[in-house]
């Protein structure tokens, strides 16, 4: 029996609209802003899910890999064409952290989004 369900994944960042734009460029979807609250932006994903972005002015982004400022969570994003997805996330402002997939023998690559949060592109099987 479950007592709850996830409504959204919320990501702290210095600029909610900018980071929502990055993820909209990667995942698609519709950005929803509340003119009364510039500290929160929703990204409604094509599959019905929701990412939300919350302003955190003093955010210290994680360092990967590191024990000093470790990641506390990350997003795994399935892709069908790793090379195209790699080019797209870099074009949108991602920073490569570990992109040596050993000639395709490893099924993931690690990046940081423009606010410094790690995320992985995972080769769909």
Residue 62 backbone class (left: φ over 0; alpha: ψ -120 to 50; beta: rest): beta
Q: Pairing mode, if any, of strands 95-98 and 108-112?
A: antiparallel
Mean pLDDT of the chain: 93
- Read off the pLDDT of residues 78-124 as tens digits, 9 standing for 90 and up: 999 999 999 999 999 999 999 997 877 889 999 999 999 999 999 98
* The CATH classification of domain 60-125, taken from the options 3.40.50.1970, 3.10.20.30, 3.10.180.10, 1.10.760.10: 3.10.180.10
CATH code at 1-58: 3.10.180.10
């Amino acid at each position: 029996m479950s007592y709850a369900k996830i409504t959204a994944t919320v990501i702290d960042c210095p600029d909610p609209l900018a980071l929502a734009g990055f993820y909209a460029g990667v995942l698609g979807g519709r950005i929803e802003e509340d003119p009364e609250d510039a500290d929160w932006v929703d990204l409604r994903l094509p599959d019905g899910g929701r990412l939300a972005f919350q302003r955190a002015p003093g955010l210290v982004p994680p360092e990967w890999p590191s024990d000093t400022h470790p990641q506390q969570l990350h997003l795994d994003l399935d892709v069908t064409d790793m090379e195209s997805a790699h080019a797209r996330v870099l074009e949108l402002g991602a920073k490569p952290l570990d992109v040596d997939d050993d000639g395709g023998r490893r099924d993931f690559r690690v990046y940081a989004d423009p606010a410094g949060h790690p995320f992985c592109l995972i080769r769909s099987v």
